[in-house]
Structure 1
Amino acid sequence: MHPQIRPRRRGLRTAVWSLVTTLVVAAALAGVVLWQHSYAMDEQRVSIRHGGHTLNAVLATPKDGRERHGLVVYVHGDGPVDATHDDGYKPLWEANAKAGYASLSWDKPGVAGAPGNWLGQSMDDRADEAAAAIAWARARPDIDGDRIGLWGASQAGWVLPKVAAKTPVSFVIAVSPAINWLRQGRYHLLAELRADGASASRTSAAIATSDTTRRLLERHATFEEYVQTMDGDADGMTADRWGFISKNYTADATQDLRALRGVPVLLALAGHDMNVDTADTERVYREVLDPGGALTAERYPDATHSFLKQSIERSDLKITFTALFMPRSLFADGFLDGQRQFLKDLGSGGVVRSR
């Protein structure tokens, strides 16, 4: 026998076992990913007619064998959001399902092939859309029309009370909702500047630019006038975005919130929110809703505006890893359980008290 044959065979066996080990580990990791992304609910694509258009929606229902369920209707925040928010809503839907509630959400107009353009909408348009979705849901035999409520984050703060003024809702879950468009914009600007360690001169320049933009909005300036005033530097602004801001910059939820008096409201506030002044939001909600005694305000110290844990949101690698292998762990501690418990208390007739 040639002296080199045995070592080569050993080397081949080593390579084969290394490959097998790699494949087993890869299969195990793939299994973990599939398991972690298998949620305790059923999902179906549905279509809702509204204003001559179709809302491309997802209805997620509990696997509890019941014929009828309450429903949580989702109202998105800002941006081109699809029905599942890139699957980010699914842990929340699962929490709803565990409490016996279905979830309904749809692609914003112009997103994921949906007709229309969400940047052409006012907050009233968005409220009309949600009211149409609720009317569609009430006509379904598997939905309990007396237990339909709203979930909304950030920009949805201007939409939620408008929906409640158009159609009865049983509850509202408001996640770091905004109150006043201009105040929120200024808060966000200053928070970002502080986080960047901006100098006094840079801060002054940014505030001056913001003030100029406000004056342009107040006199209903065109996008072309905006660009000209900014010396040709649109800084990411588009004509559609300028039109959207022009439609909505006067938004203020303070008066509209009166439509939620007496409605159980869970107000979730993030401890590290750079987009919304949560102290201002809580103050206004308490002033308007506390007399009805149906407000529950919960603060989540480790949450960012998106309600991810701050330690995770700071790292793209951590976000990717956690989203793949532990998607429910993306969210701030207690957020999913708090939402589930709020809904369970409603379903069991529990009293929601102001705190």
Structure 2
Amino acid sequence: MVAVVVAIALGGVGVTLAGNDYRLRQEALSIPVSGGALEAVLTLPAEEPARGLVVVVHGDGPVGATHDGLYLPWFEAAADAGFATLTWSKPGVGGSGGDWLDQTMDDRADEVSAAIDWAQRQAAIPNDTIVLWGASQAGWVLPKAAVSRDDIDGIVAVGPAINWLRQGRYNLLAELDHDGATSREREQAIAVSDQTRTLLEQDADYDTYRAATDDPDPMDAGRWSFVSLNYTSDATDDLVAMADKNVPVLLMLGEHDRNVDVTETASTYQDLLGSDVSVEHFDATHSMARPAVEDSEALGLITGILWPRALFADDVLDTYREYLKSLR
């Protein structure tokens, strides 16, 4: 069992909370890839041997292998279904070499494929069934990786978008609505967004961007480079190509997602993948969290410390577990 120990001042005694005790085992690994090694973690069922492998594809940002422990409930659900989970810190995060901000979505898909190839050469890592699990930005990586291989048995896509620019505009407007922005604030925010798009289309370098932008919170140089590399991303063509693979896809969408237009995502996946995709909607936010814990920093922090599984909306982890079981 893996326990995340939380020390609480109760008469000076440190208490290990039951909510942080997980039914799984973990091993630290290093995955050799072009340009260096990736700091990785392999999660295994607590007692029984695993029969398959889930490979994690992170969303945006400098994410570590376990996402600071937030992925542990996902790992546990997979372990309960008899699956190991392989995950790694993004390049430049923790002990991983490189810099994730230098990566295109094609680079990310190549990294996933290289990690799978390496895992298949390790006798201790099960690979009878291989499933890709990815969240958010991974929506532009999962189909690329699946199309490039013939050994992907399933895909779990959590809150993926279809088109980078449409996703950005949807997120902007949704956040403005959520924050109760005034008409003037909306106009200013949309003008800045349009200005940024124009600079991207003009292939502006960072100095040009900084000199021209009216954004009160401008991107740093690394982020500008990353966005410049990837802002034309669109999953449509890769999903069309993936349809020929007939890989069963579990699409998990939150009804309170302010990052992604889940209506567009659901209709696109259904139109392009047909019966290969199962679309599941949850009373959840983009991260599959309960809206209450995401909207309240204090409640989210307390829940994350005392009972991390309770961060997730009803049925999220159960649905994931049952999907993996169905792949037997």
Q: Which bin holds the TM-score, normalised by the shorter protein?
A: over 0.9
Residue 87 of structure 1 is matched in structure 2 by: 69
| 2:5 match | none
Aligned pair 1:124/2:109, yes or no? no
Question: 2:168 matched to which residue of 1?
Answer: 185
Task: Give yes or no for the alignment of 1:161 onto 2:143.
Answer: yes
Q: Secondary structure of 1:266's partner? A: strand
Which amino acid is the alignment partner of residue 183 of structure 2? Answer: A
1:197 and 2:187 are equivalent in the alignment = no
Specify the alignment match of 1:75 in structure 2: 57
Residue 49 of structure 1: aligned partner: 32
Aligned to 2:261: 277
Using the alignment, how far apart are the partners of 1:273 and 1:227 within structure 2?
Answer: 31
- Given that 2:210 and 2:218 are in contact with CA atoms closer than 8 Å, whether structure 1 keeps it comes out as no
Structure 1 segment 1-355 matched on structure 2, within 5 A: 22-23=10-11, 27=13, 30-31=15-16, 33=17, 35-66=18-49, 68-168=50-150, 169-230=152-213, 235-261=217-243, 262-290=246-274, 293-301=275-283, 303-347=284-328
Partners of 1:146 and 1:170 within 8 A in 2 = no
AA at the equivalent of 1:212: Q
1:269 is paired with a residue of what secondary structure? strand
Q: Retained in 2: the 8 A contact 1:227–1:234?
A: no
| CA displacement 1:189-247 (0-9 Å, x = unmatched) | 1011111211222212221211111111111001111111125x561410110000000
1:75-94 C-alpha deviation (Å, 9 max, x unpaired)? 00001100000000011000
1:30 is paired with a residue of what secondary structure? coil
Is 1:182–1:250's contact at 8 Å kept on the other side of the alignment? yes
Of 141-150 and 195-204, deviating more is: 141-150
Secondary structure at the counterpart of residue 271 of structure 2 = helix
> Structure 1 or 2: larger helix share?
1
Q: Distance in 1 between matches of 2:209 and 2:64?
A: 30
Residue 180 of structure 1 aligns to which amino acid in structure 2? N
Give me the whole-angstrom Cα distance separating, in 2, the residues matched to 1:226 and 1:323. 38
AA aligned opposite 1:183: R
Letter in 1 for 2:71: Y
User: Using the alignment, how far apart are the partners of 2:148 and 2:252 within structure 1?
Assistant: 24
> What one-letter code is carried by the residue in structure 2 that aligns with 1:230?
T
- Counterpart of 1:272, as a letter, is H
| Over 4 Å off, 4+ runs | none
Equivalent position SS for 2:23: coil
Cα contact 2:130–2:153 (8 A) shared by 1: yes
Separation in structure 2 between the aligned mates of residue 22 and residue 47 of structure 1, nearest angstrom: 39
The CA deviation at 1:141 is 2.3
Q: What is the CA–CA distance in structure 2 between the aligned matches of 1:205 and 1:47, rounded to whole Å?
A: 46
Is contact 1:57–1:104 with CA below 8 Å preserved after alignment?
A: yes
Change (3 A) 1:234 1:123: farther
- Name the amino acid aligned to 1:274: R
**How far apart in 2 are the matches of 1:22 and 1:154?**
39
Quote the RMSD (CA, aligned, Å): 1.6
Alignment gaps of 5+ in structure 2: 1-8
